Structure 1
C-alpha cells in the first residue's frame, strides 16, 4: 500500500464504527503529545507471530452490545422497584467495567443494608455485584448464563475503552462519565495485575498511528512515536507505541466469580422474558447488567450487536507485544495470551448471528502473515 493509500484508508476508517473491542476510538477527543518525534531507537526483541492455518486452535465470534449514544446509566421506576441500568458498552465492556459499575452504584439511594438484585453475570454484572458486596450490601445475581458462556469470555480484552459511542450522538455529560469511568476502571485493574486475575501490562503498536488515547493520555504511559525508518514494522509511515493492560477473560472472569462467592454473594439461574416479571423479585433495587439482552427485555431498540470474529493460534511464549492495524477495509489486531495468540478482527453492525465467516477468517490469517513477514529483524 502506498503512503497516500495508507492515509486515505485511515481517514475512511475514522469515519466508521470501531471493531469489536480492541480498535482505536472513534470521535474521542485527541490528546496531543509534544512533537519530539522519531528520536527513539529501534525496538529490539520483537519476534514474529507464527501465522498458519495448521496452528489455528479455535475460531471465536462475539456480539458486542453497542449503542450509538453510549452506555446507559439511567434510573428507571417499575412499580415499586428502582432499576439502575448499566449496559451498552460496545467494545469497551471489560475496560469500563469497574468504572461504570461505580457510577451506577452511586445512584442507589437506599441504605447499605438493603438487598440488591443484579441482572447478568458477565463482566459488568460481576463487577457491579462485587462492589456492592464490598459495601456490605446483600446481593443476588439473576442470570441465565455463567462464565465461560458469557459474551465477556470471547473478548480480546486489551484495556482501551474503544468503540463505545458515536461522537455526534453524545454530550458533555456523557463524556464526563466516560472519562471518569475510564480512570476509575484502569486504576482498579492496576491493582489486579498478576497471575490470579490474569492481568498484566503489554506494549502495543498502532500501525499507521492515529491512536486517540480514550479516557486520557495519562492512562497510556511510555508513549513513543516512530517514522517509517525507525519503526520495527515495514510499510507504515507512522507507528505509535503505547503501554496498556491485557486481561485474560478465562482467568479473569473465573477469579471474579470466585470473589463474588467468597464475599457472600448468591446466584440464581433464571431468565426473564418480560420486564413485568422483575416486579416479582424481593429486592427493591435492580441493577440491569444484561448487555445485549436489554434490547428485548427493556425494549431498547437503539441497542444493537457489533459482530466481531477472532482466530486463535497456539500460544507463543516469546511474543510479548501486541499490535493493531486500524484499517477500515482490512482491520487486523494481535494480542498474546496464555490461552493463545488472539488474531482479529471484524466489525459488523446489527448482525445478530454468531456464525463463523470463513472468508473473514482467511482474510485475518493472510493479513497477519503479511505483518509477520514485514517485521524487521
Structure 2
C-alpha cells in the first residue's frame, strides 16, 4: 500500500517557493502554498516577477553550495527544453537557449569555474563578433571590452515561468492560497496562522513548513542578515537574438530576451540597502545608453531609440553569509528555511529546491507514519 502523504505548507510563491512546492508535490507530499502574492500579481513585495531572468551564475568557488545549485539548475532547464522539443503537448515553461556573451572592460583574473558546465563555451578574440563591432562603436576615451567569452545560456520569460511552476504544482495536487499572514508577532505565530488558514480550506494538520518568504524573512524571522538589493530595469519592444552581460569598471549592463514575448529586459543596477520602488530617470538613461552601444538592433523606435514598454524596480533578497536553507524547530513545529538567494534566485532554484526536499524528508524521518496524516 502507498504511504500516506505528509502535509507540507510552503510560505511564499516566488521562484524559490514554487519550485520547492513542485519538487515536494511530485515526490508525493501533500503541499499547500500560502502567499500574499501569487503569479500574475505585481508588487514591490513580490520579487520574482521583476527578475530578468537568465542563467548567469553569481556564485564563486568560495561558495561551492551555490555553484552546485546553479549547475543543477542549468542542467535541469536544458532537460526541460529537450523534453518540450520531443513532445509538443507539454506545457511550455517559457525557457529558451540563446547564444550568450559575457564582456569585461578589464582583464579577467577571476576563475571562470562554470566553463565546463555550460554548452559551447569559448573565449572570443578581439576580431570576433560581437567583441569587434562593439569596440568599433565605442569612443577611444570610453571603456572598451578587453575580455569576452560566449556560451549557450537559458533565458526565462518570468511571468510565464512562474505560472508554469504554479500550474505544475497544482497538477500534483498542490493547493495555492492567496492570503497575507501576520508577521508582527514573529515566525511561530505566523506558522500557526498559516496552518489555520490551510485547515480552513479543508487541508490536514501541517507536518512540516517551508519558509520561502525572501526579503520578508527579515521581519518574520528577525533575521538581521537580510538586506535589499534594489535592481532597476527597462522592458523594451523587440526580442533580442542573443543575451549579453557586461562588467564595466564602474557599471554593469545586460540584455535578456523574454522568450516568445516580443520584448527584452535591459539592465540594470545592484543597489545595496535601497528600499525605494520608484525608478530613477537618470538610471534609466544610463541603462539605455549602455544598451545602445551593446545591442543597437533593438533601437527600432521612430526616433531611432528604444521603444520602452516599462521601467521597474525590484528588491532582491540579499543575505550576509548566503542563502539560508536549513532545518529549525520553532515552537515544536518543523521548519525548513529557504530564503536569502539575493540575485541568484532563478539559477539557484532547482538545486535549492532539491536540498529543501531532502531537508523536509530528513525532518519527517522521526515522525511516525500514522502521525503524518
RMSD: 2.5
CA–CA distance in structure 2, aligned partners of residues 116 and 290 of structure 1: 15
The equivalent position to 2:230 in structure 1, one of 287, 307, 329, is 307
Aligned counterparts, 1:178-189, within 5 A: 178-189=66-77
Aligned counterparts, 1:42-121, within 5 A: 113-121=5-13
Residue 295 of structure 1 aligns to a residue whose secondary structure is: helix
How far is 1:324 from its partner? 1.3
Structure 1 residues 204 and 265: alpha-carbon distance in aligned structure 2, compared to 1, 3 A threshold: same
How far is 1:374 from its partner? 11
CA–CA distance in structure 2, aligned partners of residues 374 and 140 of structure 1: 45
Structure 1 residues 313 and 226: alpha-carbon distance in aligned structure 2, compared to 1, 3 A threshold: same
CA–CA distance in structure 2, aligned partners of residues 343 and 135 of structure 1: 37
CA distances 1:223-261 after superposition (whole Å, capped 9, x unpaired): 222232334232423321121111111111111111111
CA–CA distance in structure 1, aligned partners of residues 80 and 222 of structure 2: 36
> Does the aligned pair in 2 maintain the 1:213–1:219 contact within 8 Å?
no
Aligned match of 2:97: 201
Aligned match of 2:218: 295
CA–CA distance in structure 2, aligned partners of residues 202 and 212 of structure 1: 24
How far is 1:186 from its partner? 1.9
CA distances 1:347-366 after superposition (whole Å, capped 9, x unpaired): 10011121111110011111
CA distances 1:9-46 after superposition (whole Å, capped 9, x unpaired): xxxxxxxxxxxxxxxxxxxxxxxxxxxxxxxxxxxxxx
Aligned match of 1:148: 40
CA–CA distance in structure 2, aligned partners of residues 215 and 300 of structure 1: 31
Aligned match of 1:249: 158
Aligned counterparts, 1:197-276, within 5 A: 197-208=93-104, 210=108, 216-232=114-130, 233-234=134-135, 235-272=144-181, 273=183, 274-276=186-188
Residue 191 of structure 1 aligns to a residue whose secondary structure is: helix
How far is 1:213 from its partner? 7.5
Unaligned regions of 5+ residues in structure 1, if any? Answer: 1-110
* TM-score when normalising by structure 2: 0.63
- Give the structure with the higher percent strand: 2
Structure 1 residues 374 and 275: alpha-carbon distance in aligned structure 2, compared to 1, 3 A threshold: closer
CA–CA distance in structure 1, aligned partners of residues 161 and 35 of structure 2: 19
Unaligned regions of 5+ residues in structure 2, if any? Answer: 85-90, 136-143, 196-204, 299-373
CA–CA distance in structure 2, aligned partners of residues 244 and 211 of structure 1: 22
Residue 192 of structure 1 aligns to a residue whose secondary structure is: helix
> Does the aligned pair in 2 maintain the 1:307–1:351 contact within 8 Å?
yes
Structure 1 residues 285 and 189: alpha-carbon distance in aligned structure 2, compared to 1, 3 A threshold: same
* TM-score when normalising by structure 1: 0.62
The count of aligned residue pairs is: 255
CA–CA distance in structure 2, aligned partners of residues 236 and 184 of structure 1: 30
> Does the aligned pair in 2 maintain the 1:224–1:240 contact within 8 Å?
yes
Aligned counterparts, 1:24-39, within 5 A: none
Question: Is 2:243 the counterpart of 1:322?
Answer: yes
Aligned match of 1:127: 19
Residue 39 of structure 2 aligns to a residue whose secondary structure is: coil
CA distances 1:132-186 after superposition (whole Å, capped 9, x unpaired): 1111111111111101333111111111231x68x8xx6xxxx342233223222
